[in-house]
Chains A and B, each alone.
Chain A
Amino acid sequence: MISAFAAVLAVGIAAAADPGKGKEIYGRCLACHALEYDRVGPRHCGLFGRRAGSVPGFAYSEAMKRSKIVWNEKTLDRFLANPPKAVPGTAMTYAGVPEAKERADLIAYLKTACR
């Protein structure tokens, strides 16, 4: 019952995701990330469907290279909620985006930003 409710809630949040608000939230990422080029963190264009730790030439942590994550809405949502917990040893030493709606907005922005 609880998992069904959570699933309905998740669908509702995803449906209401606002890429405009996600763009604002992306401002939090700008110390380390850019859409089109690698910085302290890897580029975000081409993220969806990409295996974690696979951008050529980027120096990932061993933890990220071993994670076997393929980035999609679900894996991003889990990772962004608490990166060090999702991938212990990641170089993304950032406590995360705790609000589910903010994560949905951010993911919605990332899906559209490079089109």
Chain B
Amino acid sequence: MSFLSIRNPAQARRLFLTNSGLLLSGAAVALLAGRDALAAKAGDKASDAKILNTALAAELEAIAAYQVGAESGLLQKPVLDLAVTFQGHHKEHADVLAKTIQKLGGKPVAAKSKYTFPVEKLKSQADVLRFAAGLEQGAVSAYLGAVPLFGNRDLSKAAASILGDEAMHWAVLRNALGEAPVPSAFVS
């Protein structure tokens, strides 16, 4: 099955659940078992940890955003399940990023006690989906912009793996909104 043949969110969710484990385990292997990351120069390690910390901060905010969506009462099943699943992926990303930052000698940023979200503009399921889709689109771009910056190419590979996961989130959310799931041949 491809995204082109997805007819509804339930199908999208099933497809996502089928594929996501492989992607995330690949990222975890690259991040946590990569000996090159540990052998990198001190300057590279500090710089790479900074990049990962920016990504971690965004992942933590995404987790909070999905929590707001899940608790809004605006999402109906199976869309609610989809949101919780995606939130779970962001939790996995955050966990791996935090552990990797520690391995590189950095200090992982903590989740904020309070985040600001445009809750006054979220009045329907479509509003929540559109908000989430915007975050996922931004995440794709953020990881794309981070990939070439790493001193360690294992980390670039791992970031690209997370990018792929975020891109699927974005596509599925667009599909749930009735928009073209994949609007162009390239992401930017």
Q: Tell me whether B54 and A93 are in contact (CB under 8 A).
A: yes
Residue among B50, B138, B146, B149 with the highest chain A CB neighbour number at 10 A: B138
Q: Tell me whether B188 and A91 are in contact (CB under 8 A).
A: no
Bound complex: CA A92 to CA B141 (Å): 13
From A7-15, A35-43, A46-54, A107-115, the one touching the partner chain is: A35-43
10 tightest A-B contacts by CB? Answer: A30-B138, A31-B138, A28-B141, A94-B145, A31-B142, A93-B51, A37-B116, A31-B139, A95-B145, A40-B57
A-B contact pairs, 27 of them (CB 8 A): A27-B134, A28-B138, A28-B141, A28-B188, A29-B141, A30-B134, A30-B141, A31-B58, A31-B62, A31-B135, A31-B139, A32-B54, A32-B58, A32-B138, A32-B142, A38-B116, A40-B54, A40-B58, A40-B61, A93-B54, A93-B55, A94-B146, A95-B144, A95-B145, A95-B146, A95-B147, A96-B145
Q: How many whole Å from A36's CB to the nearest CB in chain B?
A: 8
Interchain CB contact (< 8 A) of A27 among B50, B58, B118, B137? B137
Bound complex: CA A109 to CA B75 (Å): 32
* B residues contacting the other copy or chain, number (CB 8 A): 26
Chain A residues with CB under 8 Å of B118's CB are 34
Within 8 A of A (CB), among B106-139: 115-116, 118, 134-135, 137-139
Within 8 A of A (CB), among B49-68: 50-51, 53-55, 57-58, 61-62
Within 8 A of A (CB), among B35-56: 50-51, 53-55
Interchain CB contact (< 8 A) of A29 among B53, B55, B138, B147? B138
A-B contacts at CB below 8 angstroms, number: 64
Q: Tell me whether B61 and A39 are in contact (CB under 8 A).
A: yes
Q: How many whole Å from B117's CB to the nearest CB in chain A?
A: 9
Bound complex: CA A40 to CA B141 (Å): 14
Q: How many whole Å from A82's CB to the nearest CB in chain B?
A: 10
* Residues of chain A having any CB pair with chain B under 8 Å: 27-34, 37-40, 84, 91-96
Given contacts A30-B134, A32-B57, 7 further A-B contacts (CB under 8 A): A27-B134, A28-B145, A31-B139, A37-B116, A92-B54, A93-B51, A96-B145
Bound complex: CA A32 to CA B51 (Å): 13
Chain B residues with CB under 8 Å of A40's CB are 54, 57-58, 61
Q: Tell me whether B135 and A30 are in contact (CB under 8 A).
A: yes
Q: How many whole Å from A104's CB to the nearest CB in chain B?
A: 16
Bound complex: CA A110 to CA B15 (Å): 38
Bound complex: CA A34 to CA B6 (Å): 31
Q: How many whole Å from A41's CB to the nearest CB in chain B?
A: 9
Q: How many whole Å from A73's CB to the nearest CB in chain B?
A: 21
Bound complex: CA A94 to CA B54 (Å): 9
Q: Tell me whether B137 and A39 are in contact (CB under 8 A).
A: no
